[in-house]
Structure 1
Amino acid sequence: MAEIKFEITKQIAILSESPKGWTKELNLISWNGREPKYDIRDWAPNHEKMGKGVTLSNEEVEKLKEALRSLD
């Protein structure tokens, strides 16, 4: 399996933390040298391991923001 390269270009928020120290984070991440996208996933301490997550484009983040505002 090919190695996936990533760079966290901006840490935006920690959404939660598990008792084992893993954090669910919202970050901007560049995957394999591409333009950074918004990303929500679980991370082990020091980002040495990651869980499954979801990556969103700018347009998808805008739609998500609108959807969250409508919950009020």
Structure 2
Amino acid sequence: MNNTDVPIWERYTLTIEEASKYFRIGEKKLRRLAEENRDSNWVIMNGNRVQIKRKLFEKIIDTMDVI
């Protein structure tokens, strides 16, 4: 790990691939959730790349029983 690399648990936003590993949710399901909730505050579009705000998504996950 380089000195410039930020650990995944300290990042503000995560890519779909990183979020999939972090939250242990499949990439297809995360992409579908992001697509269905584009106007929500936990999804950021960086060009055509989806970014997930980690802390806000954690709060959403905490309220769910089933994904």
Question: Whose helix fraction is larger, Structure 1's or Structure 2's?
Answer: 2
More strand by share: 1
The structure with the largest alpha-carbon Rg is 1
TM (norm. structure 2) is: 0.31
> Which structure ranks higher in relative contact order (CA pairs < 8 Å, sequence separation ≥ 6)?
2
